[in-house]
Structure 1
């Protein structure tokens, strides 16, 4: 009797050995094992001249996870507002014969009247501009407003049933925030890419014009994305894709820039009120100052904006602000030292170019502001009548 349990154990082990060796080697257990380990799949047999194939197929369409659902929701909300723009200009060949040249870019609808916002360099010098909507219908577009200093252009199309984009605020954006770009890269319409805000910084635009609070992103943007929307995770426009830093490769290197949408709103407000842009400007070239630089060059404050250069005939020159007179290098970049150090505007501390930009955007061209500066070791207040941004001098840049 004591040997009976031992005998039963031996029988069970022998049976298990037989099933896992002899039967498994013949493939008899594969369907059973497959169905046991993959309960959401089913087997389908496909037969033909090459024989039969046993395929594992999903028994039902998979559910999207939360991240995928958000991506899809952003695209569905924003895509109907995004348009492709084709601009045609006339160039001349070696024999002085006119040759049409086409460029491509992106834009987005801002109202049901048919106004479309894009980059100025997308339509610059074009004799003909055409817009293709998300529904593939194509319309001739009229250029109704241009702001070269901010690289913005306003188009108008006569089309029914338009879906305007939702414009957000760009003042409180945060590095690390998720963003999406939709556009027409390399002519591939309706392309969406995703990334984050990599930085908020001041850059020089397509013609060397300063873009304050530009949104840097690692979302892939390429030639053809220019003028398209940069979106937040709710599908709202926070910026307008305008430039890439590609190291000469003419394609995405993970560093793209967008004009903040608040800048575009201010430009649109000027278009509506004055028929042209009257954004305020100091007409200066500046260098942000931190504690290290301040200590190296012996400045009286460890923060502020150093005036490198005042533009001839501009607001700063008229007010008596002084630019730098001593050339030095930051890495490989030449900078001019010895100019006035701006530390406040209308009593509010100015530590970064963004601080100065916010202060200026609260005014209009022709308004008077008071700048607090250090000239050498002397602290003083200077009254400045703000100039018009259209008078800014420009240098070459690299558009997308």
Structure 2
């Protein structure tokens, strides 16, 4: 406790504020304590604790000042390093000039980089936008549709190749070039079985592609696709390898021989060119698997080998349709085990012949209603799809040996393929579309009964489940 006496402060540890008498060197007895009552008036008495010096705050303050000075020095050093020429903290910036891609001429001899292939062909690729109608709505009004695809310029005077499914049933077809020029296109002709079509724009001096030899493509070869994925990402290029050069696949019930590729293929790419590393077109991009048997898949793109269709494309340009397309001149359907059991046939697969056109190839060869085609040359036929696929191996005028089942026995006949008449082109496509809608037999209708009603006098109903061949 501090006591104020004659303006002097004295420290005492006693609670009552009294001080002990000063001790002498010989430890004399303490003097009588001075009582406050005899000391006269005093100031207020306050209880205090010993005061200790707090050095922690000082340490923190010193530390903060050191950090501030150090941070300022480092910051100044960084700024100096960036602006100065001799510091190790400088940022390296390349001064390399942009690479100039030379536009080379596709000559079939010069291998190119991907960028050079793109530069050499992008002006030959087109974006195709189509409008059409698809049935009617609840109120009987036609439903307007719009779709997009790709294509490539085949001749300088405006012939363009694409997929048949891109322009099928189109009311209007518009073509956009890489430089932004837009043209109204006219449908020249196409073939659904091969999914090819030719359209024409009124233009001159267009840049055509150079066709290559798809038979020289090997598994593992580098390939590129240019097109318009999703109809919006125009003139995009994707790259990959050829996974297979002779892959048989089925697209909406139609068999195709395809080049399988790993290049990214998406809706809108259909009809665009598949290119090799020499810049040559070796295929027409046509299909993509996104799922199979409820499984998601990736890296499965397909293109039609250009060698398989180049003669047909030229035929379409000249005649509007494929004149040498093989034609058997029958109406047939897939034979099933249910049909065989019900009507006591010994074969439960093949193509059942419902009718034979008079004077056609089948009629000349001796095929009859009720025959079942089970083989063409060395190829087994188990369904109508098999017969459609094997037809693609022949042209009009070729001869093939047919093995057929008739009245409990197998026999062979020689068939010389006819060509599809011009007036049959549209009818055949319509028949194929109708048969696709009835391709899954559910037991509610048995087309085999039509034959027996006709054969035994019941009359023929002419159901759309039959398919021309």
Please state whether the residue corresponding to 1:75 is helix, strand or coil: helix
Which residue of 2 is the match for residue 202 of structure 1? 248
Question: Is contact 2:243–2:262 with CA below 8 Å preserved after alignment?
Answer: yes
Match for residue 197 of structure 2 among 153, 167, 182: 153
Partners of 2:151 and 2:296 lie apart in 1 by 19
Which residue of 2 is the match for residue 259 of structure 1? 304
Partners of 1:124 and 1:182 lie apart in 2 by 22
Cα displacement string for residues 120-154 of structure 1 (whole angstroms, at most 9, x for unaligned residues): 11111111110001111111111111212211111
Match for residue 128 of structure 2 among 56, 79, 85: 85
Q: CA deviation at 1:232?
A: 1.0
Unaligned runs of 5+ in 1: 1-25, 31-42, 47-52, 287-306, 325-338, 345-351
Question: Is contact 1:142–1:157 with CA below 8 Å preserved after alignment?
Answer: yes
Describe the shift of the 1:159–1:385 C-alpha distance in structure 2 as closer, same or farther (beyond 3 A). same
Alignment of 1:144-293 (within 5 A): 144-186=188-230, 187-199=232-244, 200-205=246-251, 207-212=252-257, 214-247=258-291, 253-277=298-322, 278-280=324-326
Describe the shift of the 1:71–1:110 C-alpha distance in structure 2 as closer, same or farther (beyond 3 A). same
Please state whether the residue corresponding to 1:276 is helix, strand or coil: coil
Describe the shift of the 1:95–1:368 C-alpha distance in structure 2 as closer, same or farther (beyond 3 A). closer
Which residue of 2 is the match for residue 342 of structure 1? 377
Match for residue 74 of structure 1 among 85, 106, 117: 117
Which residue of 2 is the match for residue 122 of structure 1? 166
The number of residue pairs the alignment matches comes to: 303
Please state which structure has a larger fraction of its residues in strand: 1
Partners of 2:295 and 2:309 lie apart in 1 by 26
Question: Is contact 1:368–1:383 with CA below 8 Å preserved after alignment?
Answer: no
TM-score by length of 2: 0.55
Partners of 2:309 and 2:376 lie apart in 1 by 29
Describe the shift of the 1:256–1:265 C-alpha distance in structure 2 as closer, same or farther (beyond 3 A). same
Question: Is contact 2:188–2:316 with CA below 8 Å preserved after alignment?
Answer: no
Cα displacement string for residues 187-227 of structure 1 (whole angstroms, at most 9, x for unaligned residues): 2111111111111122223x422323x11111110000001
Question: Is contact 2:260–2:301 with CA below 8 Å preserved after alignment?
Answer: yes
Unaligned runs of 5+ in 2: 1-73, 102-110, 335-348, 380-385, 438-469
Cα displacement string for residues 154-212 of structure 1 (whole angstroms, at most 9, x for unaligned residues): 1110123300011112233322221111100012111111111111122223x422323
Q: CA deviation at 1:273?
A: 4.9
Q: CA deviation at 1:316?
A: 6.5
Describe the shift of the 1:193–1:323 C-alpha distance in structure 2 as closer, same or farther (beyond 3 A). farther
Partners of 2:276 and 2:226 lie apart in 1 by 11
**Quick one: higher RCO (CA 8 Å, sep 6+), 1 or 2?**
1
Cα displacement string for residues 206-261 of structure 1 (whole angstroms, at most 9, x for unaligned residues): x422323x111111100000011111111111111111111179998211111111
Partners of 1:97 and 1:285 lie apart in 2 by 34
Partners of 2:296 and 2:207 lie apart in 1 by 30
TM-score by length of 1: 0.63
Q: CA deviation at 1:380?
A: 8.2
Question: Is contact 1:106–1:228 with CA below 8 Å preserved after alignment?
Answer: yes
1:383 correspondence with 2:420: no
Cα displacement string for residues 260-315 of structure 1 (whole angstroms, at most 9, x for unaligned residues): 112321212322454321322568999xxxxxxxxxxxxxxxxxxxx843665576
* Pair member with larger Rg: 2
Q: CA RMSD in A?
A: 4.3
